[in-house]
């Protein structure tokens, strides 16, 4: 590879991902840890998709969106973890420029789509709990398909804008990325100081979009909670809370860790905190979806027992 020259982007043909590159004695341990996370993520989310498709009792709007979310999480995990696992196993930390562009395109597209899907799911819960009489009319299957399609399409368009602006600039400060995947904050450290103003504007737009999703979901859940507190049945309150709070938990993790990573001032070196925060918004959400959004759900568990031939216990 030719050495990068000041102001010359074409000399860079690959990036070196430095994240988790230290302490080689722990390389195998890291590989096994992330391999377990990847297998758990794929198994859990694929199982949810199978249940949603095969069990007619789950052919409802909330499970339709949950199936979309699980499909998204399998792609999301593969985008980051497969490349990381290969790097940990082989010790090769290089990635081509085209590979870096592709990885970040899918990462940003899926991340944006996830925020929008979680927002749509909160709206579904709002209508189901606060506007119950209008639920079948508002959340019919045609409307659900349109909402999901718009969320996916918006993610694709957002990623095209975001990725195009990032990789249109000149990388004149070397090719070493202080992260375990191609992430914008660390890539910006390699660009010329006067060439990334547009991309910083896109980052602010991205953070604003994430915060808007968070505010929308929070407002929806505030209204949901106020309605739920008026439900006389304790079982009814528990069911309403169990379908709402996990979504807010996942989005909170995405928004707050993502904002921390994208808004904090760029430093010349990456601390372990930066790597941990990146794990929180790029690796953990896909594995958390089947754990806190689904497996604690009684309908999902009943469908699982039915699929495996087991009998659901009468106890919660």
The residue range of the domain holding 43 is: 9-308
Mapping DSSP to helix (H, G, I), strand (E, B) and coil, where does residue 191 land?
Answer: strand
Which tens digits make up the pLDDT trace of 12-47?
A: 788 998 887 666 677 888 899 999 999 999 998 999
In a domain? residue 315: no
**What value does the mean pLDDT take over residues 177-182?**
87
Domain membership flag for residue 313: no
The answer, as to whether pTM is greater than 0.95, is no
Q: Which 8-state DSSP code applies to residue 15?
A: E
Structure tokens at 310: 């087991």
Q: Tell how strand 14-17 and strand 94-96 pair up.
A: antiparallel
pLDDT per position as a tens digit, 132-175: 888 989 999 999 999 999 999 999 999 998 888 778 777 777 88
Report the distance separating Cα 228 and Cα 242, nearest Å: 11
Is there a contact between 306 and 60 (Cβ–Cβ < 8 Å)? no
Would residue 162 count as lying in a domain?
yes
- Per-residue pLDDT averaged across 208-219, rounded? 84
Residues 244, 98: Cα–Cα separation, whole Å: 40
3 lies in some domain = no
Mean pLDDT, range 49-60, rounded to an integer: 89
Number of H helices, E strands in the chain: 11, 3
> Does residue 316 lie in a domain region?
no
Query: Which domain CATH number covers 106?
Result: 1.20.1070.10
CA distance 218 to 288: 19
Average pLDDT, the chain: 80
Instruction: Count other Cβ atoms within 10 Å, centred on residue 126.
Output: 21
pLDDT tens readout for residues 279-295:
888 888 888 877 776 65
Domain count, the chain: 1
Checking if the pLDDT of 270 tops 70, the result is no
Is 314 domain-assigned?
no
């Amino acid at each position: 590879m030719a050495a990068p020259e000041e102001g010359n982007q074409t000399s860079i043909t690959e990036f070196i991902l430095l994240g988790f590159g230290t302490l080689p004695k722990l390389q195998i341990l890291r590989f096994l840890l992330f391999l377990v996370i990847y297998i758990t993520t794929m198994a859990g989310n694929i199982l949810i998709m199978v249940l949603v498709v095969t069990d007619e009792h789950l052919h409802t709007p909330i499970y339709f969106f949950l199936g979309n979310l699980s499909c998204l999480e399998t792609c999301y995990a593969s985008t980051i973890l497969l490349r990381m696992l290969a790097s940990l196993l082989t010790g090769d930390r290089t990635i081509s420029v085209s590979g870096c562009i592709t990885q970040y395109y899918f990462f940003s597209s899926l991340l944006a789509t996830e925020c929008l899907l979680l927002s749509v799911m909160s709206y579904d819960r709002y209508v189901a709990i606060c506007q119950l009489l209008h639920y079948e009319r508002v959340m019919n299957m045609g409307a659900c398909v349109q909402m999901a399609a718009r969320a996916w399409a918006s993610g694709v368009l957002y990623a095209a804008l975001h990725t195009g602006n990032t990789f249109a600039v000149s990388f004149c400060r070397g090719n070493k990325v202080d992260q375990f995947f191609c992430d914008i904050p660390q890539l910006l450290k390699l660009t010329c100081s006067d060439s990334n103003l547009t991309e910083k504007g896109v980052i602010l737009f991205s953070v604003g979009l994430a915060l808007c999703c968070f505010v929308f979901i929070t407002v929806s859940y505030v209204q949901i909670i106020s309605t739920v507190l008026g439900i006389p049945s304790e079982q009814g309150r528990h069911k309403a809370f169990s379908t709402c709070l996990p979504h807010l938990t996942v989005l909170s993790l995405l928004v707050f860790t993502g904002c921390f990573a994208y808004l904090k001032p760029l430093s010349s070196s990456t601390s372990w905190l930066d790597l941990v925060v990146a794990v929180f918004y790029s690796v953990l959400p896909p594995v958390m979806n089947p754990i806190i959004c689904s497996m604690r759900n009684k309908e999902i568990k009943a469908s699982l027992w039915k699929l495996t031939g087991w009998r659901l216990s009468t106890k919660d």
